Amino acid sequence: MFSLSGKVALVTGGSQGIGAGICRCLAQAGATVAVNYLKNGEKAASVLEEIHACGSQGILVQADVRKESEVIRMVNTVFDTYGRIDILVSNAGLYRPGDIKDTPLETWYEVLDTDLTGAFLVTKHVLPIMERQRWGRCIYTSSGSAYVGTITGAVHYPAAKAGQIALAKSLVRTESQYRITFNCLAPGLVVTASVTEDTKLDEAALREREKAFPLGFGKPEDIGYAAVYLASEEARWITGAVLDLNGGLYLRA
C-alpha cells in the first residue's frame, strides 16, 4: 500500500525542515523526487543523498518560486529529465515574526509572494502536464494558523496559508475531470532549525510550549508520511481536504 513507484514528485522548499522530511518520505515510498531549493544548495544536496541512499532517483532544481520565469525553468527541467510530473508538493514558505503594527509592507509582500504566489505559480505551470497525463496530486503545506491565527500578531503568515487552502478548494471544481486532486496539510508546530531561529525560542521555552500539545511536537516525517498518503492511489477520492497534523493542539469540528 501507498507505493509511489514510477511517480515523479516536485517538492518546493525541499532542502530543509518539513520539506526535507517530505522528500525523504516520498523517496522511501518509491517516488523519484526533484528537490527545489532557493539558496542552500549544500543542504539540498544532503537531502538528495538521502533520497539516493533509500534507492530512489532525484535531482536538484534551484529556483525562486516567486519568479515565474524561474518556475517555468524548474518545471521544464523536471519534465525534460523524467518526461512527467505526477506529484507537486508546494512547500516553499517564509515566516517573519512581528506584530501587524510593526510589519512593513515589504514584509507582507515577501511572505505572501513566497507562500501564496509561489503556490499559484508552480501549480499554474505543473497543471498542463498533469492534465495531459490525466493524473496528478497537488499538495500544499498550509498551516493550522490558517484557522486559528497566530498569537504573535504576525498576520501575513496565516493569511497566506489560508489563501493556499482557498486555492486548492477552488481548483477541485475545474480540474477533477483530469483525475487531479488538491489537498492541504495543516501542521502545528514542527520543531526545525528554521522554527527555532524565527521564533527565537530557547530550549526551556520550547519545552514549556510543548505542554500544550497532547502528543508533543511533530517531526518533519510526521508531515511527510501524510504527504505520501495524499499522493498515493489509495487517496484517489480525497480532494479539497485539509489534513490537520498538530498532535491534538486544536480540534476542528
Cα separation of 239 and 68, whole Å?
A: 26
Long-range contacts, stretch 64-68, CB < 8 angstroms, 24+ apart: 64/38, 65/12, 65/13, 65/36, 65/38, 65/90, 65/92, 65/114, 65/117, 65/118, 65/119, 65/121, 65/122, 66/113, 66/114, 66/117, 66/118, 66/121, 68/121, 68/125
Compute and round to an integer the Cα radius of gyration of the chain.
17
**Residue from 6, 56, 66 nearest 36 by CA:** 66
The answer to whether 191 and 206 are in contact (CB under 8 A) is: yes
Q: Is 95 a catalytic residue?
A: no
Strand order of the β-sheet with 180-187 is 58-62, 32-37, 8-11, 87-90, 136-141, 180-187, 242-245
**Residue from 168, 180, 170 nearest 129 by CA:** 180
Cα separation of 116 and 112, whole Å?
A: 5
* Active-site residue, selected from the candidate residues 95, 157, 178, 229: 157
SS3 per residue for 132-171: HHCCEEEEEECCCHHHHCCCCCCCHHHHHHHHHHHHHHHH
Which residues are catalytic, by number? 157
